[in-house]
Amino acid sequence: MGKSSARTLRISTLALAMAMLGCSSRDVPAVPAASTKISWGQTPEGQPVELYTLTNAKGSEARIMTYGGVVVSLKVPDRSGALGDVVAGFDNLEGYLIPPPYFGAIIGRYGNRIGGGRFSVGGMEYQLAKNNGANHLHGGVRGFDKRVWSAKPLSLQSLELSYLSKDGEEGYPGNLSAKVTYTLTDAHELRIEYSATTDKETIVNLTNHSYFNLDGEGDILGHQVMIHADQFTPVDKGLIPTGELKSVAGTPFDFRMAKTIGERIEQKDEQLIFGQGYDHNWVLNRTGPGLETAAKVTDSKSGRVMEVLTTEPGLQFYTGNFLDGTLKGKGRVYAKRSAFCMETQHFPDSPNKPAFPSTVLKPGDTYRTTTVYRFSTI
Ligand code: GLA
């Protein structure tokens, strides 16, 4: 839906509500304004999918669909105030059913890889699908990115999604009740709050897999990146962490001072060769449990700046190395390195790396994390 038609719909809904309640235009009813919703087709199994539009007071707009909890579009101003869509995606649901490599989706139960798809928790060993070579990736064959979430609009700017993942789904133990709230604030922030509870000891590591391009087109090699991390977790050929926390000093992984993505990406570095570019987890420098800045990305062309704040210990910075130009949407071709991801998370393969921060969730405890993508301009 275009911006003006969304607004017309909202105004007419308000007018209708006022007429029904017998209000004059001066006493607006105390009904919370809800985000607009349209039907967006159905899954091959016949489940209806809805698309919600969140709009902030300054005109920024996020569209979220119930399939995968996907951020379908995110329009924020450039330095001249013109709104532009900064995430990769498609024009219709069909584009997402192919499926694409997790465009904009909620990832669960476990963001990134688990070595051999095997882990133990609560004294039991579990074998998950090996859907990425010998390893398990992003929750398996049908992870949270391929499930229809229930939506509850909280306001014009906030949408709560929930999903109950049944005991044994994709091989994971416990009924996991997951909730993700997207809020588009007036400070041009997309705030994502994740929570989950279980009835059996399990593991959980949720994230969002939006692919950003702050200019909306072209490659992202000229974007300047700062990552607030002194260390990263090197990987083997299968992209499973070796367990080492390696200093970024003197490596192409040192983003403590802003560098363009392209400056060192083609260096003959073993880690860059394994990832075919950046596809690694950074160990964020943290001072406490609250929201702290993880990264900042600046695009001097559009003037857009994106800051990532999180409560999580890790950040997977992925430079779209596996995009190959076969996917197209929104009039764009998704070529190699035409978008980047900043997936806030616990470290990959944590269930098999006792020294990494734990991803275990026990009955009675609540998993809670928050990540904010904050947009501004220079
Ligand atoms: C993550 C992984 C990558 C790749 C993408 C999706 O970021 O780390 O290796 O699988 O998801 O294509």
The per-residue pLDDT for 25 is 39
Using one digit for the tens of pLDDT, what is the confidence trace for 253-274? Answer: 999 999 999 999 999 999 999 9
Distance CA 349, CA 359 (A): 10
With the most atoms of ligand 1 within 8 angstroms of its CB, the residue from 318, 327, 338, 342 to mutate is: 318
Q: How many CB atoms lie within 10 A of CB 198?
A: 26
How many angstroms separate the Cα of 377 from the Cα of each of 32, 79, 83, 296?
31, 5, 12, 12
User: Distance between alpha carbon 237 and the CA centroid of its chain, in Å?
Assistant: 25
With the most atoms of ligand 1 within 8 angstroms of its CB, the residue from 137, 240, 273, 349 to mutate is: 137
Residue in this structure with the two tokens 């329009």, named with its chain if needed: 75
Using one digit for the tens of pLDDT, what is the confidence trace for 340-368? Answer: 999 999 999 999 999 999 999 999 999 99
The per-residue pLDDT for 224 is 98
Pairing of strands 176-184, 61-65: unpaired
The per-residue pLDDT for 22 is 37
Average pLDDT over residues 213-241: 98
Contact 195, 366 (CB under 8 A): yes
- Cα–ligand 1 centroid distance for 316 (angstroms): 9
Name the more confident of 239 and 21: 239
What H or E segment, with its residue span, contains residue 99?
Answer: none
The per-residue pLDDT for 4 is 40
Contact 122, 174 (CB under 8 A): no
Average pLDDT over residues 295-323: 98
- Cα–ligand 1 centroid distance for 318 (angstroms): 7
With the most atoms of ligand 1 within 8 angstroms of its CB, the residue from 272, 279, 316 to mutate is: 279
Distance CA 66, CA 149 (A): 5
Is the CB of 316 within 6 Å of ligand 1? yes
Is the CB of 145 within 6 Å of ligand 1? no
Distance CA 202, CA 180 (A): 19
* Helices H / strands E in the chain, number of each: 3, 29
Distance CA 308, CA 54 (A): 20
The per-residue pLDDT for 20 is 40
Is the CB of 319 within 6 Å of ligand 1? no
Per cent of the chain over pLDDT 70 is 91
Task: Answer yes or no: pTM beyond 0.85.
Answer: yes
Using one digit for the tens of pLDDT, what is the confidence trace for 44-89? Answer: 999 999 999 999 999 999 999 999 999 999 999 999 999 999 999 9
The per-residue pLDDT for 26 is 43
Question: pLDDT confidence of 33, banded at 50, 70, 90?
Answer: low
List the residue whose alpha carbon is closest to atom 1 of ligand 1: 112
